[in-house]
Amino acid sequence: MRSLACLCLCLLTSAMLTAATGYQVNNGANQDITEFSTCKNVANAHASGKAIFVPTKTSTEWSQFYNNTPAGVTISACAGPCAGKSVGGYCWYEGASSATCTATCSSHGGTTDGTIDYTGSGGSLSNCSSVMAALGQTAVGGSGSTTGSSAGCYYSLLSGKILRSTSPVTTQAGSGGGFYRACSCVN
């Protein structure tokens, strides 16, 4: 019994030391890592196709890593909290008239798949309506689905309707005259 307790304590101690020593980021993945009051997003696209070890045992190791990244590894700032409207796990902004989501999200950390998968051609009219309501748009003319635009979910200035275009497939770059798009941004 005593040796079992010792083994458990050793394994627990080892696990705690490993967590403080560094992190593993699998190939094709990214991870926010906060150590020594510095948060960085580490994205691994290394040509080897293997996971990388991110050393964080000391402040020097951690800063050396993010200041001297290996080939195929990208370091960026961690995403901050959503300054727009949070709906469905995404951070939403209303684009200016005729603006693309790429342009709208350029000052909010970039775009996310919510524009396409939550409110756009891969999402639902119900989600689109919820997001537009959170953004302050009321459907004076009702809401509905339409085709002919890759803008996804938007408020039409002409009809006063909240519309979700289902074809062609929604893109971040979709735009057109006379409407405000719902854009899912990083923060």
Is residue 125 within 8 A of residue 145, CB to CB? The reply is: yes
Q: Which residue has the tokens 């938007």?
A: 154
Which stretches in the chain have pLDDT values below 50?
A: 1-19
* 30, burial (CB in 10 Å: exposed 0-12, middle 13-18, buried 19+): middle
For residue 160, the model assigns a pLDDT of 92
Q: Which residue has the tokens 């967590």?
A: 19
C-alpha torsion sign, points 77, 83, 89, 94? negative
For residue 33, the model assigns a pLDDT of 84
Alpha carbon separation from 161 to 43, 47, 91, 155 (Å, rounded): 40, 48, 22, 6
For residue 20, the model assigns a pLDDT of 60
For residue 106, the model assigns a pLDDT of 92
Q: Which residue has the tokens 């370091």?
A: 75
3-state SS, residue 17: helix
Considering the entire predicted model, what is its pTM?
0.61
For residue 140, the model assigns a pLDDT of 80
